[in-house]
């Protein structure tokens, strides 16, 4: 009805007379146009200047069309990003595909992100590794910040990494390290691939706490094919996780899998899932040889039925995702750090001798060093700190994402930006360290340049475990295991490189990956320096 009335009263504008425009003199309209144009221009400038000032992005290299700065990352990203930081400054902005990325490459900038704005950067950005390997974000490392993440972290903190838990399981670590020394002492003239044996030791030590049993043979690692396969799987995971997958940054290309990364991830996930399924089913049935109580897996299975309420119950998938995190993050990182430490000591025989003298004075030569001795081994602790500085296990931090826009050092950081902290570059910053490329443990001793600096996330000059809410949950275990292994290998053996390689010629190049692996494995001839009964009694 209303529509009909409207049509009835519609005016026919075509029947109205067309008015004749009144002539206006040019001299009256030109000043008005000029005034209006100048005013609009000034307002435009003021608005843009204010917007640019408030939304000024950090400096960085000019991005390429579509792919952005992905080509700038090179073959070893933490090296390439360190070189770019030397040119553009310690806070950089990159455009990786369609994603804003900010990179922190100095201690002060890292502290801004991980301390002052830690809550804003507590979650992870979407990525193919978490989706295809880590059970679609159901693990601890990549879980979104929130109740479920807090529950998983609390479980690990209480049952695996608390001071009480570490002390309760101290004997397990010492037993596994003693098994390692026997294997090395029995090597004779054979060439030893040190990293492989270290990985077996750390994996079995962690497995006995997590599962109540070893996962590799008798712990000696003597050609155990399962141990070799597991080591290869972990290294491949770290390499794939360290890849910058084009599909993560240009979503429209994700389905093409141009680099073949997704296919490799899915295949690797199937291998890990099979490995973890066997462990889980054997543990449930009691066929795995575990204790059935007191280990972490028994606790996790119990939580399936009796969760503490925060975040809900644990599913089998969540249990496997957590075990995957612990096996990967708790084994290869420690073994590779120890491998770097021994390589550095072989290259600096005077430092090895000094460490052995400290060991003989504090511990003696009649027994193996124990965890209770570590607090008195000042020089040994300095060696470990210097190894973490020069060879951080995770040179480029796991990414975080900005939940909201913020300002860092006067620069605008957009919401949704990915944060990368170049831990490797920070620890080699010449503004913070004297002769930063030299291996000098004395810098952490009384009278040195950084005597009070620790590696626990409080001092941002060296943060191998990260910092803030997302700091590595296993930092306490990692420190103990690395210190005990380095101390034992220093105390019990003299070291010589295989194939007659001179120490100064030792290849110290890094391989590509999420963790800092050696490009070439450390091949050595260990020579026992203690009485034979010490190795047997350990």
Numbered residues of the known binding site for heme: 472
> What CA–CA distance (Å, rounded) separates 267 from 316?
20
Structure tokens at 415: 């919401």
Distance CA 466, CA 472 (A): 6
Q: How far apart are CA 492 and CA 531, in angstroms?
A: 9
β-strand partners of 56: none
**CA atoms of 256 and 14, how far apart (whole Å):** 59
With DSSP H G I counted as helix, E B as strand and the rest as coil, what are the percentages for the chain, rounded to 5? 55, 10, 35
**d(C-alpha 36, C-alpha 29), whole Å:** 11
Task: Give the separation between CA 176 and CA 208, rounded to whole angstroms.
Answer: 10
DSSP 288-338: S---SSSSHHHHHHHHHHS--SSS-PPPHHHHHHHHHHHHHHHHHHHHHHH
Write out the H or E segment, with its range, that includes residue 523: strand 523-528
Which of 511, 138, 266, 94 has the alpha carbon at shortest distance from 257?
266
* Cβ-contact 469, 185 below 8 angstroms: no
Q: 4 vs 1, 7, 9, 14, 465, CA distance in Å?
A: 5, 5, 9, 21, 75
Give the separation between CA 217 and CA 226, rounded to whole angstroms.
Answer: 8
DSSP, res 436: T
Neighbours of 408 (CB within 10 A): 18
The C-alpha atoms of residue 246 and residue 269 are separated, in whole angstroms, by: 20
Measure the CA–CA gap between 72 and 531, rounded to whole angstroms.
54
Query: Which string of b and e fits 206-233 if b means at least 16 CB within 10 Å?
Result: bbbbbbbbbbbeebbbeebeebbebbeb
């Amino acid at each position: 009805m209303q529509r009909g009335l409207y049509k009835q009263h519609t005016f026919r504008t075509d029947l109205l007379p067309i008015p004749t425009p009144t002539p206006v003199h040019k001299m009256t309209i030109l000043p008005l146009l000029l005034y209006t144009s100048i005013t609009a221009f000034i307002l435009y400038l003021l608005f843009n200047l204010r917007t640019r000032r408030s939304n000024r992005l950090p400096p960085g290299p000019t991005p390429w069309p579509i792919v952005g700065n992905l080509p700038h990352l090179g073959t070893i990203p933490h090296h390439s990003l360190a070189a770019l930081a030397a040119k553009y400054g310690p806070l950089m902005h990159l455009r990786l595909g369609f994603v804003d990325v900010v990179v922190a490459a100095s201690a002060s900038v890292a502290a801004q992100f991980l301390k002052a704005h830690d809550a804003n950067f507590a979650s992870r950005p979407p990525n193919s590794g978490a989706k295809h390997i880590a059970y679609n974000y159901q693990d601890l490392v990549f879980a979104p910040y929130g109740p479920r993440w807090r529950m998983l972290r609390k479980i690990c903190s209480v049952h695996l990494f608390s001071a009480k838990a570490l002390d309760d399981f101290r004997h397990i670590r010492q037993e596994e390290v003693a098994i390692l020394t026997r294997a090395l002492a029995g090597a004779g003239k054979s060439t030893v691939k040190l990293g492989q044996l270290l990985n077996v030791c750390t994996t079995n030590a962690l497995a006995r706490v997590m599962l109540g049993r070893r996962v590799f043979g008798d712990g000696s690692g003597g050609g155990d094919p399962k141990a070799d396969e597991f080591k290869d799987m972990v290294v491949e995971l770290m390499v794939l996780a360290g890849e910058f997958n084009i599909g993560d940054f240009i979503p429209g290309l994700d389905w093409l899998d141009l680099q073949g990364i997704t296919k490799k991830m899915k295949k690797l996930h199937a291998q890990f899932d099979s490995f973890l399924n066997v462990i889980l089913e054997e543990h449930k049935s009691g066929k795995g040889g575990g204790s059935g109580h007191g280990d972490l897996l028994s606790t996790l299975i119990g939580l399936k039925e009796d969760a503490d309420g925060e975040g809900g119950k644990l599913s089998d998938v969540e249990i496997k995702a957590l075990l995957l995190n612990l096996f990967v993050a708790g084994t290869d990182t420690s073994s590779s750090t120890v491998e770097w430490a021994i390589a550095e000591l072989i290259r600096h025989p005077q430092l090895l001798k000094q460490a052995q003298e400290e060991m003989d004075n504090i511990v003696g030569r009649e027994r193996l060093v124990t965890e209770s001795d570590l607090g008195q081994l000042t020089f040994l602790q300095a060696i470990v700190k210097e190894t973490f500085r020069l060879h951080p296990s995770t040179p480029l931090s796991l990414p975080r994402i900005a939940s909201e826009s913020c300002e860092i050092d006067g620069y605008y950081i957009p919401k949704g930006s990915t944060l990368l902290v170049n831990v490797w570059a920070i620890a080699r910053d010449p503004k913070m360290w004297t002769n930063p490329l030299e291996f000098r443990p004395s810098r952490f001793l009384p009278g040195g340049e950084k005597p009070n600096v620790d590696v626990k996330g409080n001092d941002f000059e060296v943060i191998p475990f990260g910092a803030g809410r997302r700091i590595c949950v296993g930092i306490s275990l990692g420190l103990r295991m690395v210190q005990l292994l380095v101390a034992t290998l220093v105390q019990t053996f003299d070291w010589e490189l295989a194939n007659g390689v001179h120490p100064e010629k030792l290849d110290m190049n890094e391989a590509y990956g999420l963790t800092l692996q050696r490009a070439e494995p450390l091949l050595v001839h260990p020579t026992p320096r203690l009485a034979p009964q010490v190795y047997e009694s350990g």
